[in-house]
C-alpha cells in the first residue's frame, strides 16, 4: 500500500547527483527512496503508542536494496541508545524489507527504528529519504498474579493498604506519616483517615480489637498531651516525635480547619466503634470527646463573616485569608462545625459560606450525566471521597442537591472523560481511569477532566467503589492483575502512574491510601457510614443545616 510519495524530492534528484564513499559521483538514476512504510500493516506517522512486543515494519523502496548494507545501517535502539538485534526479511527482488525485533521487546518501553541515508541499493546508490520511527510498546496483557475472587481481592487490597497506617505509622505518635518518604512529618487529615481504618482492620481480622485499641490510645494520648493545636484545631503537619507544628507553607504554620475536620471525623468514628464498658474503652471515648469539644469551630467564622476560614496562624493570624467554599471536599468541615457541642456554627454560615447562597450549584450535563454541584466536569474525585468516608450520601439531600446523584454522576463523568480520552493519552480506558489529586512526575497536582496531565491515580477509581461498583471493580482488577508488577507494592497500590510517559510513582500517600480502605468497606458493609452517622451530635448538626436522610 503506497503511503508516502515524494514527487518534489524525486524531481529535485533529477537535477542533482551524490558523492559516493570513494569521493566520486553516483549517477542521478542510482539514488533511491522509500515509497511506502507500514507499521503492523498500517501507517499513521512516525510516532506510535501501545505497539506490541514484536512489531513488524515493512518498507518499500524504489529499487532493490543491498542486503549487507541494510543489515548494518537499519537499527533499532531503546531509550538508552542500546542496539536491539533485528530480523530482516527481503522480498520483491529486495526492494521490500520486513523489519522486526529478533526477540520480544520490553513492555511499556521506548524504542526508535532508524533507516539511515547510508543505506545502499544494489546498483550502488544511496537512500535519499532517511527516517526514524519512535514507538512505545504497550501493556503486557498477561495476569501478574493468580486470579482470586473479587471478594478476596477486596480483602487483599484493604489488608495490604492498611499496612501503611499500621506498620508505617509513626513509632512515637502512631499518627500517619504524610508519605512513605516523610520521616517525622505526620499529617492530621491523613491520620484521620488512618483512624477510620482501625475499625475496618478489626472487623476484617487484620488486627485484634485489643491491638486496635492500644494504637488508638497511643494516637489520642499524643494528640491530647503533645500535639500543638490552636483554638482546638490542629495543623496540617506535625512532628510525629515532638508534636510541634511543621509549617505546610510559609504562612500556614498554625490551625488547618479542613485537616482538623478529617481528623475529628476519624476520632468520632473510633469513639462510636469502641463502645465497650471497659475502663480502657471508656477512657478512650472520654479523651476523644475532650479533643472534639475543644475545637472552636465558631472562631474560624472570622469576625462573624458567615463563612468558615481554612487557616489561622499564631504569628500571622488570618493572613492566608482562604474561605472554605464549595463545592469541594470540605462538606465535612461545615457538618462537624454545625455538630459541635461547644462551638457550633449557625445554618447561615453553611448557606453563605460553603453553599455560597446557591452559587455552588451546577446542574449542567456532561457525557449525559447531570451534575448538581461544583465546577464543570466535577473536578478531582477526592471531592466526593473525603467527606463521604463518614457521611452516608444514600438518600441524603438538602436545598442544594441530592447527594447520591452528586457522587454517582461526578464519578461517572470522570470515568466517561477517561474513556473518551480527548487528549489521547495512552492507556486510558473503561478499566484504566480515575483523575484526582496525586503525585505526578516531578510534582503534585489535582488531576481532573479540566486539568488532565495523563496521570491515573488508583485511589480515584478504587475509592469510588460505592458509587460505581462494577466500573471501580473492573479498574481495581486491571490495576492488580495487569499492572501489578509495576504499581502494586508493600502498602498497596503506588500513588499514581502515567502509561503515556511510562512513569510510575514510588510514593504512597496517607490521604490516598486511607480512602481506599474505608470506601471499600463502605461498599462491602457500610461500616464507617454506620459508625459516623450514629453520632448523636452529627444527626443534630446535619438536621440544623437542613439535611434530610434516613440516617438522621
User: Distance (Å, rounded) from C-alpha 273 to C-alpha 386?
Assistant: 19
For 192, the 3-state DSSP assignment is helix
User: Distance (Å, rounded) from C-alpha 130 to C-alpha 127?
Assistant: 7
H helix or E strand, kind and range, residue 202: helix 188-203
Task: Give buried/exposed letters for 277-311 (b at 16+ CB in 10 A, else e).
Answer: eeeebeebbebbeebbeebbbbbbbeeeebbbbbb
For 295, the 3-state DSSP assignment is coil
Beta bridge partners, 486, equal none
**What's the pLDDT score for residue 30?**
87
Domain boundaries, the chain: 7-137, 150-544
Name the phi and psi angles at 369, rounded to 5.
-115, 125
For 308, the 3-state DSSP assignment is coil
Considering the four listed CATH numbers 3.40.50.300, 2.60.40.1220, 2.40.110.10, 1.10.10.10, the one that applies to the domain covering 7-137 is 2.60.40.1220
Name the phi and psi angles at 488, rounded to 5.
-100, 125
**What's the pLDDT score for residue 96?**
98
User: Cell numbers 539511515 correspond to what residue?
Assistant: 116
pTM as predicted = 0.92
Taking a C-beta distance cutoff of 8 angstroms, is the pair 124, 150 a contact? Answer: no
Taking a C-beta distance cutoff of 8 angstroms, is the pair 377, 366 a contact? Answer: yes
Taking a C-beta distance cutoff of 8 angstroms, is the pair 2, 36 a contact? Answer: yes
Mention every residue, 6+ apart, whose C-beta is less than 8 A from residue 200. Answer: 158, 162, 517, 518, 521, 527, 528
The CA-based angle 333-339-341, given to 5 degrees, is 125
Give me the chain's average pLDDT, please: 95
Say which DSSP state 387 is in.
G
Say which DSSP state 225 is in.
H
Q: How far apart are the first and last CA of the chain?
A: 69
Cell of 297: 469551630
Taking a C-beta distance cutoff of 8 angstroms, is the pair 138, 106 a contact? Answer: no
DSSP-H helix ranges across 230-370: 257-273, 279-294, 331-339, 347-349
The closest alpha carbon to 287, from 302, 270, 304, belongs to 270
What's the CATH class of domain 150-544? mainly alpha
| pLDDT < 50: residue spans in the chain | 1-26
Amino acid at each position: 500500500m503506497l503511503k508516502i510519495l515524494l514527487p518534489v524530492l524525486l524531481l529535485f534528484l533529477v537535477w542533482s547527483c551524490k558523492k559516493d564513499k570513494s569521493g566520486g559521483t553516483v549517477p542521478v538514476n542510482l539514488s533511491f527512496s522509500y515509497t511506502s512504510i507500514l507499521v503492523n500493516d498500517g501507517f499513521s506517522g512516525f510516532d506510535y503508542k501501545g505497539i506490541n512486543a514484536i512489531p513488524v515494519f515493512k518498507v518499500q523502496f524504489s529499487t532493490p536494496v543491498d542486503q549487507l548494507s541494510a543489515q548494518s545501517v537499519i537499527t533499532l535502539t531503546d531509550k538508552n541508545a542500546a542496539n536491539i538485534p533485528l530480523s530482516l526479511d527481503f522480498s520483491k527482488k529486495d526492494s521490500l524489507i520486513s523489519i522486526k525485533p529478533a526477540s520480544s521487546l520490553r513492555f511499556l518501553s521506548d524504542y526508535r527504528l532508524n533507516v539511515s541515508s547510508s543505506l545502499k541499493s544494489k546498483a550502488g546508490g544511496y537512500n535519499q529519504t532517511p527516517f526514524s520511527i519512535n514507538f512505545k510498546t504497550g501493556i503486557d496483557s498477561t495476569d501478574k498474579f493468580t486470579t482470586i475472587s473479587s471478594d478476596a481481592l477486596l480483602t487483599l487490597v484493604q489488608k495490604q493498604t492498611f499496612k501503611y497506617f499500621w506498620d508505617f505509622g509513626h513509632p512515637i505518635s502512631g499518627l500517619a506519616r504524610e508519605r512513605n518518604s516523610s520521616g517525622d512529618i505526620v499529617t492530621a487529615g491523613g491520620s484521620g483517615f488512618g483512624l477510620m481504618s482501625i475499625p475496618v482492620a478489626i472487623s476484617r481480622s487484620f488486627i485484634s480489637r485489643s491491638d486496635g485499641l492500644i494504637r488508638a490510645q497511643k494516637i489520642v494520648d499524643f494528640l491530647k498531651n503533645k500535639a500543638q493545636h490552636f483554638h482546638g484545631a490542629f495543623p496540617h503537619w506535625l512532628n510525629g516525635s515532638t508534636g510541634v507544628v511543621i509549617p505546610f507553607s510559609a504562612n500556614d504554620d498554625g490551625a488547618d480547619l479542613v485537616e482538623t475536620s478529617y481528623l475529628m471525623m476519624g476520632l468520632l468514628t473510633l469513639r462510636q466503634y469502641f463502645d465497650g464498658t471497659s475502663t480502657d474503652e471508656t477512657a478512650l471515648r472520654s479523651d476523644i470527646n475532650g479533643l472534639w469539644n475543644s475545637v472552636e469551630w465558631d472562631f474560624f467564622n472570622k469576625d462573624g463573616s458567615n463563612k468558615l476560614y481554612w487557616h489561622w496562624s499564631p504569628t500571622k493570624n488570618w493572613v492566608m485569608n482562604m474561605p472554605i467554599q464549595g463545592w469541594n471536599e470540605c462538606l465535612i468541615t461545615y457538618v462537624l462545625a454545625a455538630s459541635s457541642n461547644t462551638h457550633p456554627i449557625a445554618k447561615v454560615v453553611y448557606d453563605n459560606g460553603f453553599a455560597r447562597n446557591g452559587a455552588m450549584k451546577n446542574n449542567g450535563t456532561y457525557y449525559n450525566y447531570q451534575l448538581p454541584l461544583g465546577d464543570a466536569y466535577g473536578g478531582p474525585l477526592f471531592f466526593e471521597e473525603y467527606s463521604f468516608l463518614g457521611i452516608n450520601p444514600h438518600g441524603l439531600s438538602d436545598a442544594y442537591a441530592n447527594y447520591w446523584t452528586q457522587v454517582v454522576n461526578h464519578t461517572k463523568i470522570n470515568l466517561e472523560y477517561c474513556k473518551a480520552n480527548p487528549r489521547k493519552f495512552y492507556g486510558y480506558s473503561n478499566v484504566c481511569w480515575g483523575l484526582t489529586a496525586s503525585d505526578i512526575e516531578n510534582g503534585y497536582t489535582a488531576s481532573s477532566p479540566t486539568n488532565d496531565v495523563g496521570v491515573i491515580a488508583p485511589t480515584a477509581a478504587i475509592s469510588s467503589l460505592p458509587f460505581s461498583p462494577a466500573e471501580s471493580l473492573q479498574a481495581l482488577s486491571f490495576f492488580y492483575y495487569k499492572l501489578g508488577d509495576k504499581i502494586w507494592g508493600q502498602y498497596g497500590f503506588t500513588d499514581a502512574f502515567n502509561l503515556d510517559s511510562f512513569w510510575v510513582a514510588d510514593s504512597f500517600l496517607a490521604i490516598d491510601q486511607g480512602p481506599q480502605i474505608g470506601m471499600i468497606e463502605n461498599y462491602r458493609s457500610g461500616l464507617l457510614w454506620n459508625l459516623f452517622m450514629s453520632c448523636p451530635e452529627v444527626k443534630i448538626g446535619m438536621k440544623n443545616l437542613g439535611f434530610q436522610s434516613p440516617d438522621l
